[in-house]
Structure 1
Amino acid sequence: MTEPTAPNRRAGRSRRAAAVLTLVEALVVLGFAGFYVYEMVTGATDDLTRAATSGALILVFGLALLALARAWTGASQWARTPTVLWNVLLLPVAWSLHESDRDPVALAVAALAVASIVAALSAPGRRDDADGTGGADGESDVVS
Structure 2
Amino acid sequence: MNRPGNSDRPGGGASRPGDWRREERERRKRGEPSALQPAQRPEVDLPRRPLSLVGAVVTMVIQGVALLVAAGIYVYTGLTGAGSSLGSLVGLALMFLLMSASMFGIANGLWKYRRWARPAAVAWNVLLLFFAWSVRPGVFSESGDYMFWGPLILGIEMLVLMFLPATLRAYDEGLRRQDEAAQRGA
Judge same fold: TM > 0.5, yes or no. Answer: yes
**Which range moved further: 84-93 or 101-110?**
101-110
Q: Provide the rounded CA distance (Å) in 2 between the counterparts of 1:19 and 1:78.
A: 14
The correspondence for 2:90, drawn from 45, 52, 62, is 52
Structure 1 match to 2:173? 129
8 Å contact kept, 2:52–2:162? yes
Unaligned 5+ residue runs, structure 2? 1-46, 181-186
8 Å contact kept, 1:25–1:65? yes
Q: Provide the rounded CA distance (Å) in 2 between the counterparts of 1:84 and 1:125.
A: 16
Normalised by the length of structure 2, the TM-score is: 0.59
1:40 is the counterpart of 2:78: yes
**Which range moved further: 98-107 or 17-26?**
98-107
RCO higher in structure (CA 8 A, sep ≥6): 1
The correspondence for 1:103, drawn from 144, 160, 167, is 144
Q: Equivalent residue of 1:103, what SS?
A: coil
Matches within 5 A, 1:1-144: 12-98=50-136, 99-100=139-140, 101-105=142-146, 106-122=148-164, 123-124=167-168, 128-129=172-173
CA shift in 2, pair 1:127/1:27, >3 Å: closer
Q: Provide the rounded CA distance (Å) in 2 between the counterparts of 1:88 and 1:75.
A: 20
Q: Provide the rounded CA distance (Å) in 2 between the counterparts of 1:74 and 1:113.
A: 21
CA-atom RMSD in angstroms: 2.6
8 Å contact kept, 1:77–1:126? no
CA shift in 2, pair 1:125/1:42, >3 Å: farther
How many positions carry a matched residue from both structures? 125
| Offset from partner CA, 1:60-100 (integer Å, 9 cap, x none) | 00111011112222232321111111110111211122122
Normalised by the length of structure 1, the TM-score is: 0.74
CA shift in 2, pair 1:125/1:88, >3 Å: farther
CA shift in 2, pair 1:88/1:21, >3 Å: same
Q: Provide the rounded CA distance (Å) in 1 between the counterparts of 2:129 and 2:79.
A: 32
8 Å contact kept, 1:37–1:52? yes
Percent identity of paired positions between Structure 1 and Structure 2: 26
Q: Equivalent residue of 1:46, what SS?
A: coil
